[in-house]
Structure 1
Amino acid sequence: MMNHRLFFILILIATGCGSPAARGVEGQNFPWSNDPLEGSLITGWALEGPTANIGSHQIDKSPYGGFDMGGNIAEWVNDWYAQSYYSEGPEQNPLGPEEGSLRVARGGATSPYPQDMRTTIRRRYRPRTTSRAIGFRCAYDVE
């Protein structure tokens, strides 16, 4: 009997990869539309409580099939934080600065404010920060 092992190298996605996956080709503010109220029951904006099970809300499915892209938790990305990066950096596929002291978490988590649920919301944290409102998304290149 052969013992087969499969190894994957997983990396945190960069902002330039994750944001389009959540927003779709039309660049919506939320995976479901531009209206925060349509998804308010799943983002934590309307309700307080624990995070939801992965994939439990069909409205939070992005146009590309990704679940939980507009609420539940924010996601660590592989970007260092710089306040002026987006006004000075590239428009297409921004990767963030090469170094820094703070890392970026993107996307809606839980918040009492609908603008904080946007797929483009960007927050900065120290790299060792832990929170029930921050997680990560595993991804791999299919090519």
Structure 2
Amino acid sequence: MVLIPGGSFTIGSNHLNYPEERSAAHVHLDRFCIDQTEVANAQFAAFVAATGYVTVAERPLSKVQFPDLPDQQRLPGSLVFEMAKPGTKVVPELSWWHWQTGANWRHPFGEKSTIVGKENYPVVHIAYEDALAYAKWSGKSLPTEAQWEFAAQGGLNNAIYTWGNQYSAKKANTWQGIFPFFNTKADGYIDSAPVGSFPPNGYGLYDMSGNVWEWTSDWYAAGHASKVHQSNPKGPDQAQSFDRHKPHEPALHVIKGGSYLCALNYCSRFRPAARESEASDTGTTHIGFRLVKNLISKI
């Protein structure tokens, strides 16, 4: 882990991209430690071996939650990304995601895929409760959004990216080309990369931009009004969690950092100020996590 000294900084941005980043607020954080990299497959495998834990993606869909689904459609699985087929010119929004039976952290793209030889890749298909279970076992916790963003800035308060203000395909694992039609792989990867494959930020942290999205403990609401001039803010209450773009979803958590699927023409959320909402019970091929160790009991 890396010690983050704490201090005051501006969370969010009033200048770029998406409305949910706005209401930039000055907040203060006590010092804390954070994982230098995203949790990797080998680390998660050690947790599973020690505890026998079964992830959400490895469990059948609940009959209570999905009473009308036949048993065949409640088989364990998760959401997998699929690039548009060659020659396709128009695709419906979010049609690049499909439910894949047998997809989970051991089999990222379905039951015929494997993580053998990818022990140092970030673990994916992790739902929120999976990340919490690992955190409890390891004696750590998920970062708040403020902790995550402060660490991602690497000491560069108000910089656009974790490394400065100029985009570079060599600085992070992102999508190069036109999403979702083609990826030039200018950064060397078509999907996730081994943790630590790209240069660290100013605090020595890897993959705070791109590679895979990372869970935070904060409930999601647009903007940062609830954090203004707060010390160690934890975000809104669950009852206040809402995303106008996902009105039928239950309360949502904040994920940060973007992923290898974020492109300049779509998403572009591989910036410290950027954020997205995600349902707690949802894992995908591009969501993982890292943890913090709080050094002050009041956080």
Q: Distance in 1 between matches of 2:171 and 2:192?
A: 12
Q: Is the 8 A contact 2:152 2:272 kept in 1?
A: yes
Q: Distance in 1 between matches of 2:294 and 2:175?
A: 33
Q: Distance in 2 between matches of 1:14 and 1:117?
A: 18
Q: Distance in 2 between matches of 1:39 and 1:91?
A: 35
Larger-Rg structure: 2
1:48-70 alpha-carbon deviations (Å, 9 max, x no partner): 61201000112xx1111111111
- Is there any run of 5+ residues in structure 2 with no aligned partner, and where? 1-136, 177-184, 242-250
- Is there any run of 5+ residues in structure 1 with no aligned partner, and where? 1-6
1:51-70 alignment runs, 5 A limit? 51-58=192-199, 61-70=200-209
Q: Distance in 1 between matches of 2:175 and 2:233?
A: 28
Q: 1:23 to 1:39 in 2, by over 3 A?
A: farther
Letter aligned with residue 111 of structure 1: C
**Shift in Å, 1:17:** 0.6
Residue matched to 2:166 = 35
TM-score (normalised: structure 1): 0.80
**Shift in Å, 1:40:** 5.2
Q: Secondary structure at the match of 1:16?
A: helix
TM-score (normalised: structure 2): 0.41
**Shift in Å, 1:107:** 1.3
Q: Distance in 2 between matches of 1:130 and 1:78?
A: 15
Residue matched to 1:76 = 215
Q: Secondary structure at the match of 1:50?
A: coil
Residue matched to 1:118 = 271
Q: Distance in 2 between matches of 1:64 and 1:41?
A: 15
Residue matched to 2:256 = 106
Aligned counterpart in structure 1 of residue 191 of structure 2, from 34, 43, 50: 50
Q: Is the 8 A contact 1:107 1:118 kept in 2?
A: yes
Q: Secondary structure at the match of 1:18?
A: helix
Question: Which shows bigger deviation, 16-25 or 86-95?
Answer: 86-95
Q: Is the 8 A contact 1:108 1:119 kept in 2?
A: no
Q: Is the 8 A contact 1:43 1:108 kept in 2?
A: no
Q: Is the 8 A contact 1:75 1:135 kept in 2?
A: yes
Runs of 4+ in 1 over 6 A off after TM superposition: none
Q: Distance in 2 between matches of 1:87 and 1:128?
A: 26
Aligned length: 133
**Shift in Å, 1:88:** 4.4
Percent identity, aligned pairs only?
29
Q: 1:8 to 1:125 in 2, by over 3 A?
A: closer
Letter aligned with residue 132 of structure 1: T
Question: Which shows bigger deviation, 104-113 or 69-78?
Answer: 104-113
RMSD (CA atoms): 2.2
